[in-house]
C-alpha cells in the first residue's frame, strides 16, 4: 500500500498545508502582490530558505493558491446549485451566478488572483484547467437540462460564425445547438464582467444597490441563453411606481 508512507511523508503534507494556509491568510489580508515568502516562513517559525523545499518558487505557491481558489469557488457554486436542483433552470442559473458573486465578494483578493489581471508576467499553467472550469460546467449542465432534446430556436448566428460555433459546440457540449453554446460562452464572460466591475470599484457612484442589479442582469443573461420564466408570460405585472 502506498498510503501512510510514514512520519516523513505525513509531516511534509502537513507543512505544505500550513504554508498554503498562512499564504492564503496573507493573500486575503493584503493581496497577491504583498504575499511574501519570507513573511510566510517567518509566521510559521521557519527560515525562508526552508520553504523552498515545499514550493520551488513564489509563482508555484501562487499557482497552488489559484487552483485552491478555483476549487473553492466551484464548490460554493456547486453546493448552491445542489440546494435548488429541483427548481426551474432559470432559478438554478441565477442561483449559480449569485453564488459566484457571493464568493467573489467574500474572497476579493482570491477572485482578483484568478479573474483579474494575471499576476505579472505570469501565465496560468495547464493544471489549473480542471478546477477553473467547474462553474462553466455547472452552467452548461443547467442549460442542457433546460433544453432536454427540444432544441428551442434561438437568435440565428451570422454566417461568419457558423463554423466556429460548431467547433465550440463540438468541444464543449455536442448535444447543445451551436447558437446556444455561443450565447452561453458570452454570458459566462459577461457574468465575470458584472462581478469584476463591482469588485474592482468600477460601479462606485454608479450602482449603489448592487444585489438586485446583479440579479436582474444575470436574469437577462439567463434569458439570452434561452432560459425563460417558469410561467412564461407572467413577466409584465409589476406593482405600480411613480
Residues between 15 and 34 that touch a second copy (CB under 8 A): 30-34
Query: How many chain residues are in contact with a second copy, going by CB under 8 A?
Result: 65
7 makes contact, choosing from DNA, a second copy, none, with CB < 5 to 8 Å by partner type, with DNA
Report the alpha-carbon distance of residue 53 to residue 172 in Å, rounded.
39
| Max Cα–Cα distance, the chain, nearest Å | 73
Instruction: Please tell me whether residue 174 binds a second copy under the rule CB under 8 A.
Output: no
Specify the stretch interacting with DNA by CB under 7 A; choose among 47-55, 131-139, 176-184, 217-225.
47-55
Rounded to 10 degrees, the C-alpha dihedral 218/220/221/225 comes to 140
- How far apart are CB 31 and a second copy at their closest, in Å? 4
Specify the stretch interacting with a second copy by CB under 8 A; choose among 2-10, 47-55, 78-86, 165-173.
165-173
Specify the stretch interacting with a second copy by CB under 8 A; choose among 18-26, 60-68, 88-96, 109-117.
109-117
Instruction: Please tell me whether residue 234 binds a second copy under the rule CB under 8 A.
Output: no
Residues 40, 51 contacting (CB under 8 angstroms): yes
Calculate ∠ Cα 103-186-75, nearest 5°. 25
Rounded to 10 degrees, the C-alpha dihedral 189/193/195/196 comes to 120
Q: Which C-beta is closer to DNA: that of 8 or that of 205? A: 8
Report the alpha-carbon distance of residue 148 to residue 86 in Å, rounded.
15
Give the ranges where 107-177 is alpha helix by DSSP (H): 108-115, 129-132, 134-147, 162-172
Where on the chain is the footprint of a second copy (CB under 8 A)?
30-34, 112-113, 115-121, 123-124, 155-164, 167-168, 171-172, 182-183, 185-186, 188-194, 196-198, 200-203, 205-209, 212-213, 215-217, 220, 224, 235-236, 238-239, 241
Amino acid at each position: 500500500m502506498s498510503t501512510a508512507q510514514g512520519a516523513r511523508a505525513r509531516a511534509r503534507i502537513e507543512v505544505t498545508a500550513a504554508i498554503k494556509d498562512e499564504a492564503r491568510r496573507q493573500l486575503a489580508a493584503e493581496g497577491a502582490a504583498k504575499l511574501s515568502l519570507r513573511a510566510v516562513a517567518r509566521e510559521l517559525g521557519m527560515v525562508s530558505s526552508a520553504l523552498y523545499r515545499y514550493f520551488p518558487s513564489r509563482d508555484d505557491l501562487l499557482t497552488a493558491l489559484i487552483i485552491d481558489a478555483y476549487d473553492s469557488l466551484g464548490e460554493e457554486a456547486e453546493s448552491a446549485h445542489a440546494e435548488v436542483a429541483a427548481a426551474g433552470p432559470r432559478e438554478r442559473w441565477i442561483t449559480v451566478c449569485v453564488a459566484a458573486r457571493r464568493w467573489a465578494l467574500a474572497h476579493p483578493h482570491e477572485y482578483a488572483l484568478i479573474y483579474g489581471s494575471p499576476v505579472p508576467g505570469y501565465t496560468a499553467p495547464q493544471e489549473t484547467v480542471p478546477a477553473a472550469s467547474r462553474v462553466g460546467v455547472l452552467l452548461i449542465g443547467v442549460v442542457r437540462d433546460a433544453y432536454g432534446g427540444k432544441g428551442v430556436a434561438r437568435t440565428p448566428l451570422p454566417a461568419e460564425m457558423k463554423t466556429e460555433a460548431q467547433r465550440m459546440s463540438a468541444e464543449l457540449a455536442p448535444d447543445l445547438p451551436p447558437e446556444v453554446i455561443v450565447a452561453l460562452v458570452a454570458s459566462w464572460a459577461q457574468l465575470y464582467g458584472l462581478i469584476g466591475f463591482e469588485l474592482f470599484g468600477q460601479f462606485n457612484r454608479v450602482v449603489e444597490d448592487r444585489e438586485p442589479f446583479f440579479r436582474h442582469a444575470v436574469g437577462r443573461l439567463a434569458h439570452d441563453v434561452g432560459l425563460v420564466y417558469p410561467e412564461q408570460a407572467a413577466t409584465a405585472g409589476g406593482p405600480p411606481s411613480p
